[in-house]
Amino acid sequence: MERSPFLPLPEGMVIGQVELIETQLTVEVISTQPFACCPECGNSSDHIHCQYHRTVHDVPCGGRNVILRLLVRKFACWTTTCPRKVFAERLPDLVRAYARVSNRLLEELKAIGLAASAEVSERLAPRLGMQVKAPTLLRYLRTIPPPSDIP
């Protein structure tokens, strides 16, 4: 399957189906990687244990909220010394572990937060099709490393 110009996905991911309603665009994203690495021990596994859907918000498109419905697989770790027996595949190029927003949306929200105060950004974001609360935005901004070239 070829790469989509609509939604630039990392290598090894494809669009399964797209569902369009009046105010929302839901895109199913499927990983096609043949294996995943255990986050505990680092060994790769190709034994799929099960799969589940994970919902992540993405940057709005055409005035609609974009929801990514990720089909995430769980793999079995066969390393005997590893305490983790089952692990979910990580998709670091698309979304951080446990995050509810995509990396693209996170960067957009950080840019808005750096341009204006958190309170102003909270009021501005819905006009741009994004939702964020001031405390959440401040938490995102705290993850930005300080500039290293301070005179």
Q: pLDDT tens digits for 62-114?
A: 888 999 999 999 999 999 899 999 999 999 899 998 899 999 999 999 999 88
Dihedral sign of CA atoms 100, 102, 103, 109 in order: negative
Q: pLDDT tens digits for 33-48?
A: 899 999 999 999 999 9
Q: Which of 49, 89, 52, 86 has the alpha carbon at shortest distance from 71? A: 52
Q: What angle do the packed helices 134-141 and 103-115 form, to 10 degrees?
A: 100
Residue 149 reports pLDDT greater than 80: no
Cα 131–chain centre separation: 15
Token couple for 66: 């974009």
What pLDDT sits at residue 102? 93
Confidence of residue 127 (pLDDT cuts 50, 70, 90): confident
Residue 2 reports pLDDT greater than 80: no
Q: What percentage of residues in the chain have a pLDDT greater than 90?
A: 48
